[in-house]
A and B are shown apart, each in its own frame.
Chain A
Amino acid sequence: MTSRSGASPRLLLRRLAAARRAAATGSADRTPTPGRGGPPPLGAERRSGGSGGSPPRTNTARDLLTLHVMQRSRRFLGPAAGLLTALLLVLLLQGNGFVSTLVVDMLVYAIVAMALDFLGGYAGLISLGQAGFLGVGAYGVAIAEVHFFSPWAAVGIALAVTLGLGLALGIVAVRVKGVSFVIITLAMGQVLWGLSYQWVGLSEGDNGITVSVLPTIGPIDLNDPLTLRMTVLVVFALVALLLVTFTKSPFGLSLRGVRSNEARLAALGYRTGLHRYLAWIIAVFFTGVAGVLYVFVNQLISPTTMDFSANGLFVIMAVLGGLGSIWGPALGAVVIVLFQQELSIYVSRWQTLMGLTLIAVVLLSPGGFWGLLRAAGRRWDAAIARRQRDLETAP
């Protein structure tokens, strides 16, 4: 993913040909093959001149090929892994059993974790109220559908309400940073949870609202479980790709600048408050999208979905997976859902295990799971660079 593209294949082929020519004519005798230990005895070096210098030559050719393979695989490993994951997800979602339910849950939570990461990992604003906005999206659909409208209109209304609430609350939230931001978002999440609990006339309180009829448009009927699961997958992929695109844009770069040194950024002509506000709105909106999917998948929304521990769980997903990577928190969501729904069957103290895992990851890899992958990628880059240097010094 770095700018290091290495030598082009054509250049490599040309070098390979040159190496072969050189080997054929046996012109050069100085081929200090790297990593051969200490210098050979002087006499031996002298005598070999001109006669048969071919073994190191073939070595160089093989080295070039190895380098080429390493560079290629470095470049294509990411996309290949992505494609394989997508394929795997499609396959897993085919069945009607437990596994597909688990995967759908993972995908919905992953959207929230990624949105949280966009705000926290890039702009440095960790939100502890994200479950509240998940609830707004979900309740928005449920209330609109039960009381007033068609399912599709309900989706539009839910998203509009989430966006509007994000726009309004953002004016307050984005005024503060650091711990104050954590606290203020926590307060917002708790207020939203409180509303869902106590505004019985609208939210039906403790019981929650069930949504039985899902939207249908043309051939896409969300009441069909498979269609619904595939829709969740598509929406997840869209959100993930959008967020990744955003992080690579000048705006994404500006968010990293905000986190790194906001005063400096302001002195460079950036209206940093606006950038934080936009990041907030993006994060809240996508969380609302996850909320809509949540209520379709579960066909029920109740206050427990947005209680305090849910907020904490999303932050844990993001931190465990690796803040500032988008894909990492998605991975974190996978792990946490596994803990919560699989491990809890066998181990009653699954939360203790989750806590220990979190401590281990934070201590051993501050960048989370994704940090480990990134470190591996950097090592690979370094290995490629080393080989390239070796080959260049030994023409």
Chain B
Amino acid sequence: MTPAQASTEPALAAEHLSRRFRGVTAVADVSLRVPAGARFGIIGPNGAGKTTLFNLLSGELRPSAGRVALFGRDVTRLRPYHRAALGLGRTFQVTRVFSDLTVLENLTLALHGLHRSKLSLFRPWRSYRGLTAEAAEFAGRFGLASRLSAVAAELSHGEVRELEVLLALALKPRVLLLDEPAAGLSPAERVDIQALLAALPPELTLVMIEHDIDLLRTVVDSAAVLHLGALVVQGPIREIQDDERVRELYLGRGAA
């Protein structure tokens, strides 16, 4: 799977990563190398361990075995906030925004994340004009510019998912993990998110869980297929699509 050692370190690497929950192996010996600037997809049926793998990569969970490296640096023991500071951003499958804060407060909070100003006590957060203007600019990337003072709990499902992606982007990550960003979105909102993903800077490394192969195909260039926690196949998206085993997983035995 790993031919020759690449000259540059991969942006994100997992080595023999495993996680067991009381005897159930959710992720089994997964090894991945995502080069910098790649657009990488992770697919697999429900319960394949995709989200657990994400949680291991972002530090929400500690692996039972194996290691995680970010730009060649071993981050296996580092907590989520520390990995975020090293440039690893993520979204969550079950949307996690600050639901009792406004859109502006959500985005401002995200923008302060990497600055020492997040511990500042005496200056009102609204007086950080640069950051609040940037927050408004971020909101404008989706149709959220007019919703800045809306409390996140009042947003529509689609808007919340968009806010979730914006929060991760506000961190200005070098590696971005997206956990089903288009889940439950309307076709129009899907187009929005597709456009946003297409407009991401090319040097950003993107790893994305997505069920919708059609959407995935427009964003990623290679992908890995997980089944029962193990890596079944990995390669360019074109090959994955036509792979016999993948068809079997998704369509059931005999359908191919």
Could you tell me which A residues sit within 8 Å of B by CB distance? Answer: 2-4, 245-246, 248-254, 256-257, 260-261, 263-272, 274-275, 278
Q: Which residues from 111 to 138 on chain B have a C-beta closer than 8 Å to any C-beta of chain A?
A: 112-114, 117-126, 128
CB <8 Å contact, A264 and B124: no
Set B80, B89, B98, B114: member contacting A266, Cβ < 8 A? B80
**Given A2-B149, A3-B149, A264-B167 in contact, is the A272-B81 Cβ separation under 8 Å?**
yes
| B: number of interface residues (CB 8 Å) | 41
Question: Which of B81, B90, B105, B120 has the most chain A CB atoms closer than 10 A to its own CB?
Answer: B81
Taking each of A246, A260, A269, A271, which has the highest tally of chain B beta carbons within 10 Å of its own beta carbon? A269
Known contacts A2-B149, A248-B124, A261-B98, A253 near B84 by CB under 8 Å: no
In contact, B121 and A263 (Cβ under 8 angstroms):
no
- Tell me the residues in window 38-84 of chain B with beta carbons closer than 8 Å to chain A beta carbons: 58, 60, 79-82, 84
Verify A263–B96 contact, CB threshold 8 A. Answer: yes
Q: How close is A270's CB to chain B, nearest CB, in angstroms?
A: 6
B171 within 8 A of A: yes
Q: How far is the CA of A130 from the CA of B174 in the complex (A)?
A: 44
Chain B residues with Cβ below 8 Å from A265 are 98, 109
Cβ contact within 8 Å between A261 and B96: yes
- The smallest C-beta distance from B113 to any residue of chain A, in angstroms, reads 4
Residues of chain B lying within 8 A (CB to CB) of residue A253: 101, 105, 108-109, 112, 125
Residues of chain A within 8 A of B84, CB atoms compared: 266-269
B80 touches A267 (CB 8 A): yes
Which chain B positions have C-beta within 8 A of A252? 121, 125
The answer on a CB contact under 8 Å between B96 and A250 is: no
A-B contact list, 11 entries, CB within 8 Å: A3-B104, A249-B120, A249-B122, A249-B125, A250-B128, A252-B125, A256-B101, A263-B60, A263-B80, A268-B167, A270-B81
A25 to chain B minimum Cβ distance, whole angstroms, is: 36
Specify the chain B residue showing the minimal Cβ separation from A268.
Answer: B113
B139 to chain A, nearest CB (A): 14
A263: chain B residues within 8 A (beta carbon): 60, 80, 92, 96
Q: CB distance A250 to B117 under 8 Å?
A: yes
CA distance A275 to B170 in the complex (A): 20
Q: Chain B's nearest CB lies how many Å from the CB of A22?
A: 30
User: Is B225 among interface residues, defined by CB-CB distance under 8 A?
Assistant: no
List of A residues within 8 angstroms of B149 by Cβ: 2-4
For the complex, give the distance between the alpha carbons of A2 and B150 in Å.
12
A269 lies within 8 A of B85 (CB): yes
The reply on B221 being an interface residue by CB < 8 A is no
Decide: B89 and A267 in contact? CB cutoff 8 A.
yes
Q: How far is the CB of A44 from chain B (nearest CB, A)?
A: 39
Query: Which residues of chain A come closer than 8 Å to B128, judged between CB atoms?
Result: 250
B98 contacts across to A, CB distance below 8 A: 256-257, 260-261, 264-265
A265 vs B79: C-alpha distance when bound (angstroms): 12
CA distance A190 to B90 in the complex (A): 42
A377 to B25, CA, bound (A): 54
Supplied contacts A263-B60, A269-B171, 11 more A-B pairs, CB within 8 Å: A248-B125, A248-B126, A249-B125, A250-B112, A251-B120, A251-B121, A254-B109, A261-B99, A264-B167, A267-B90, A268-B109
Question: Shortest CB–CB separation between residue A209 and chain B, in angstroms?
Answer: 34
Question: Known: A261-B97, A266-B81, A272-B81. Is A246-B121 also a contact (CB below 8 A)?
Answer: yes
B246 close to A (CB within 8 Å): no
- The distance in angstroms between the C-alpha atoms of A267 and B98, with both chains bound, is 12
Partner of A260, one of B79, B101, B123: B101
Q: Indicate if B100 sits at the interface (CB-CB under 8 A).
A: yes
Interface centre among A245, A246, A266 (most CB of B within 10 A): A266
Give the distance in Å from the alpha carbon of A93 to the alpha carbon of B115 in the complex. 45
- Cα–Cα distance between A54 and B183 once the two chains are bound (Å): 58
Please name the residue on chain A nearest to B105 by beta carbon: A253
Question: Is the CB–CB distance between A254 and B118 below 8 Å?
Answer: yes
Let me know if A260 and B99 touch, CB within 8 A: yes
Complex-state Cα separation, A246 to B90, whole angstroms: 29
Partner of A268, one of B79, B101, B110, B122: B110
The answer for the CA separation of A209 and B119 in the assembled complex, in Å, is: 40
Q: Is the CB of B109 within 8 A of A257?
A: yes
Q: Could you say which residues of chain A place their CB within 8 Å of the CB of B117? A: 250
| CB-contact partner of B100 in A246, A256, A275, under 8 A | A256
By a CB distance below 8 angstroms, the chain A residues around B58 are: 267
Q: For residue A248, which residue of chain B has the nearest CB?
A: B124
Q: Please, which residue of chain A has its CB at the minimum distance from the CB of B98? A: A260
On whether the beta carbons of A271 and B81 are closer than 8 Å, the reply is yes
With A248-B126, A250-B128, A252-B125 as given contacts, are A269 and B105 in contact (CB-CB < 8 Å)?
no
Please tell me if the beta carbons of B97 and A264 are within 8 angstroms of each other in the complex. Answer: yes
Cβ contacts under 8 Å, A256 to chain B: 98, 100-101, 105
Cβ-defined contact, A250 with B60, below 8 A = no
Contacts of B81 in A (CB 8 A): 266-272
**Residue among A246, A249, A267, A270 having the largest count of chain B Cβ atoms under 10 Å:** A267
Chain A residues lying within 8 Å of B121, measured Cβ to Cβ, are 245-246, 249, 251-252
Q: A3-B126, A269-B81 are in contact. Are A257 and B101 (CB under 8 A)?
A: yes
Query: Hey, which chain A residues are within 8 Å of B99, CB to CB?
Result: 260-261
- List residues of chain A with CB within 8 A of the CB of B108: 250, 253
**Which 6 A-B pairs give the minimum distances between C-beta atoms?**
A269-B113, A269-B84, A268-B113, A260-B98, A264-B96, A248-B124
Assembled-state Cα–Cα distance A260/B101 (Å): 8
Which residues from A are CB-within-8-Å of B126? 3, 248
- Distance of A256 Cα from B97 Cα, bound (Å): 12
Residues of B within 8 A of A251 (CB): 118-121
Q: Is the CB of A264 within 8 A of B92?
A: yes
Q: Judging by beta carbons under 8 Å apart, are B79 and A266 in contact?
A: yes
- B120 is contacted by which of A2, A250, A264, A274 (Cβ under 8 Å)? A250
Contacts of B80 in A (CB 8 A): 263, 266-267
Tell me how far the C-beta of A265 lies from the nearest C-beta in chain B, rounded to whole angstroms. Answer: 7
Shortest beta-carbon distance, B95 to chain A, in Å? Answer: 9
| CB of B68 to closest CB in A, whole Å | 15
